[in-house]
Chain A
Amino acid sequence: MKRRQWGSMVLAGILAAGMLTGAQASAAEGEKKLEVEVDYTSEALDSFRLLMDGFTEETGIAVELVTPGTDYETVIKTRLASADMPDVFITHGWSINRYKEYLLELNDQPWIEEVSESIRSVISDKDGKIYVLCVTQGVGGMEYNQDVLAKVGVDPASIRTMDDFQEACAKIKEAGINPVFIGGKDYWTSANFMNLLAAAYYTADGCICPSGEALKDGSFDWETDGMHYFNAVKDMINNGYFNENFITADEVTGIESLANGKTAFLVGGIAVERAKSYNESANIGVMPVPATAEEGKSLYQVGEGSAFGIWKDSEYIEEAKQLLEYLARAEVAEQILAADANLPALNNINTAESLTYEAFTKSEKEFEGDICYQNLFDREFLPNGMWSVLSDSMIEVFMNPTEEGVQVAVEGMQENYVEKLEAAE
């Protein structure tokens, strides 16, 4: 008898608790709620939550924040499949090429005048229509630890070409410090790396193998011209310029390593604040990706940062517009800038507080006349759906840094490139 009592008590408890919470959940369903889906994580997410609370307080419009973290793209895609999109969502660089047909055109919005010139072309379609409120822009380049470079006697402003960069790496390695950190565990980190470095070889002004047009019209051949880039990666691996665990390391470990002076360079989106959160006294600078030819220019990539679009079939379009107006307000936009550690994309944002902005403008002075600015490589020059292919190809070379590995990588690139181009037509 005693045994049975135990079992039924636990079961009854479970049921009661379930029903209680069930009742709560259904009570909350009645009110009107704006569903907002964002890809923020950690502290950025915390501060965005506070901003949403402020919006609700001000307008009485409740906001339900959906935050799939690293699954963001996956979740958005499945929701596209079911035509059940959030009312407002972050377009992560795809407002034109992937999401345009699902988004509301926003050219008539009051904040449109504030959109800064540098991002305008990136977020406009052929007819000049804009579909997102882009509060911040992401800039891709390199971050470095100033103290490490000073210790080994390298002046970052003197690194203008890949040869200079290799030389610097050799010096750093000799000093027992890891030159470049790659976190290959998650596919986007290696894709990010390739996105930046490959552009230096193929699309930057005066690069070694200019192929912007060829990439777009489908005549580019990865199996021949792709070698420039992949061989360079292979050589860097064989020279030992990457961290030993580049296959399994995660991005976070890289940031930590840079902050603590164990790594000299990171390649990717620049955000000085991230490293600072690990080591307050870290001395972090940023620079563009070096040129691949002597006369070429260094490269910064500019893309959507925190860019918010409205689902065109949303039930709450007016409320969503209100939310965007709120986000475009200077004091709110500044908080977003502080949280995502990108660069401002609206002219009304005060940048005094932004460390990344400070470091970025410093580098612009150091490299004055030697920088070209471009949209993200895959968004601009590659067909839709290549992002994970970039990472697949990188991993092939990581796992097997020989001519054979490079061959597999370029074949994979070519095959998918052709296939995705066909699919796009």
Chain B
Amino acid sequence: MYLFYLPAMLMLLFFVIRPFGETLYISLCKWNGYSSAKKLIGFKNYAALLGDRRFYTAFVNTLIYGFVSTLLQNVIGMGCALLVNSRFKGNGIVRVVVYLPIMISGLIMGYIMYFIFSYDRGVLNDILALFGRAPVDWLADGRTGVCIITLVNSWQYAGNCMVIYLAGLQNIPKVYQEAAAIDGASGWQSFRNITLPLLIPSITTSVIVNLIGGLKLFDPIISLTNGGPNYQTHSLMTYLNSQYFLKEKAGYASAIGIFTFFLIMLVAVAANGYFEKRMVDG
């Protein structure tokens, strides 16, 4: 039966393990990415990471894209799920519409969002103008840029959470809430004390799924800000990309890749541990 693993393992060996080894090797070299001259320089690229404030910014941003997006997605998703679950005319439309953006490529979504957030003729500034407000250069400030990217990402993928919670909600027997209502619990109390605890399995999976997506964020940053202004909205992945292509620092870019690899591995192991524990407890 172990032979069943073989095709998958061969593919992973060839396209994950081997490139990983190669990336590891390049991360120890000084190389511009195209010439034939690769020079082994030891751990200098990693040492350089420590002194690079742009790398630090990208690192913090990556955590924001991962964790804040996850939080927002879950809040929005939970809200949508409660709304859709509460049976009223048109709840089907809400479900279809909120899940829709997941179908659209993150890259293309970034371009579309640029139509909305750009200074000249941007939709958001048009809306402000309706209220007589002066236009704002939304993407000119790195912090606002990071917020916008986080919001866009949360908005686009909140549908995933909604669906997960919807299934969770529908699995909760109606009698629980009815019993609580008879006992005179308010809507919030019944949500807090009955619904939420029963949703914990859904919350766990939803958090993990979105954490992965957020930490990997790449496409919408490329098309929305391309890491700018002044490297302030880069994620680790887009920063790697810019170091490899624009700066011709393939070795340094590889070091960023390896760092990110271990960062996410750490999160993955932690999440998996939590997951397993929950399985045992649950």
Residues of chain A whose beta carbon lies under 8 Å from any beta carbon of chain B? 74, 77-78, 80-81, 184-187, 244-245, 247-249, 253, 385, 388, 392, 395-396, 398-399, 423
A210 to B34, CA, bound (A): 35
Q: How far is the CA of A78 from the CA of B33 in the complex (A)?
A: 7
Q: Could you tell me the distance between the alpha carbons of A81 and B244 in the complex, rounded to whole angstroms?
A: 12
Contact A245 B246 (CB under 8 A): no
Residues B94-141 near A (CB distance < 8 A): 118-120, 137-140
**B219 within 8 Å of A (CB atoms):** no
* Residue numbers in A under 8 Å from B120 (CB-CB): 245, 249, 253
A248, B139: Cβ atoms closer than 8 Å: yes
Distance, CA A423 to CA B137, complexed state (A):
39
A81 near B33 (CB under 8 angstroms)? yes
Residues of A within 8 A of B246 (CB): 74, 187, 388
- Could you tell me the distance between the alpha carbons of A245 and B229 in the complex, rounded to whole angstroms? 11
B230 adjacent to A248 (CB under 8 Å): no
Asked if A396 and B34 sit within 8 Å, CB to CB, the answer is: no
A245 to B121, CA, bound (A): 12
Partner of A77, one of B33, B119, B137, B228: B33
Question: Within 8 Å CB of B118, what residues of A?
Answer: 248
Answer whether A249 and B119 are a contact pair too, CB < 8 Å, given A187-B246, A385-B247.
yes
Q: How far is the CA of A253 from the CA of B114 in the complex (A)?
A: 14
Q: B230 and A80: CB pair below 8 A?
A: no
Q: Report yes or no: B137 in contact with A385, Cβ–Cβ below 8 A.
A: no
- Is B245's CB under 8 angstroms from A399's CB? no
B47 to chain A, nearest CB (A): 15
Given contacts A81-B34, A395-B229, contact A245 B245 (CB under 8 A): no
Least Cβ distance of B30 to chain A in Å? Answer: 8
Residue among A247, A253, A388, A423 making CB contact with B229, cutoff 8 Å = A247
Minimal beta-carbon separation of B222 from chain A (angstroms):
11
Q: Closest residue of chain B to A397, judged by CB?
A: B230
Contacts of A78 in B (CB 8 A): 33-34, 245
Rounded to whole angstroms, the CA-CA distance of A388 and B241 in the bound complex is 14
Question: How many A-B contacts are there with CB distance less than 8 Å?
Answer: 58
Please count how many residues in chain B sit with their CB below 8 Å of the partner chain's CB atoms. 20
CB pair B33 A398 closer than 8 Å: no
B230 touching A395, Cβ below 8 Å: yes
Pairs A–B under 8 Å by Cβ, sample size 16: A74-B246, A77-B34, A78-B34, A80-B34, A81-B34, A185-B226, A187-B228, A187-B246, A247-B137, A247-B140, A248-B137, A385-B248, A392-B230, A395-B229, A395-B230, A399-B230
B236-251 interface (Cβ within 8 A of A): 245-248
Within 8 Å by CB of A396, from B140, B228, B230, lies B230
The 7 tightest CB contacts between A and B, nearest first, are A81-B34, A80-B34, A245-B119, A395-B230, A247-B140, A388-B246, A245-B137
Contacts A74-B245, A77-B33, A81-B34; A245 near B140 (Cβ below 8 A): yes
Chain A CB count within 10 A is highest, among B35, B228, B248, for B228
Q: In whole angstroms, how far apart are the Cα atoms of A77 and B138 in the complex?
A: 33
Residues from chain B with Cβ under 8 Å of A253 in the complex = 120
**Contact call A77/B248, Cβ cutoff below 8 A:** yes
Residues in A neighbouring B139, C-beta threshold 8 A:
247-248
Q: Which residues of A contact B229 (CB under 8 A)?
A: 184, 247-248, 395, 398-399
Chain B residues with Cβ below 8 Å from A423 are 32
Q: Which residues of B contact A385 (CB under 8 A)?
A: 32, 247-248
CB pair B137–A185 under 8 Å, yes or no, is no
Chain A, Cβ-Cβ closest to B227: A187
Query: Of residues B32, B140, B231, which shows the largest number of chain A Cβ atoms within 10 Å of its Cβ?
Result: B140
A248 to chain B: which residues have CB within 8 Å?
A: 118-119, 137-140, 228-229
Task: Say yes or no: B228 contacts A395, CB within 8 Å.
Answer: yes
Which residues in A have their C-beta under 8 angstroms from that of B247?
Answer: 385, 388
Q: In the complex, what residues of A have CB within 8 A of residue B32's CB?
A: 385, 423
Interface string of B240-274 (1 = CB under 8 A from A): 00000111100000000000000000000000000
CA of A245 to CA of B140, assembled, Å: 7
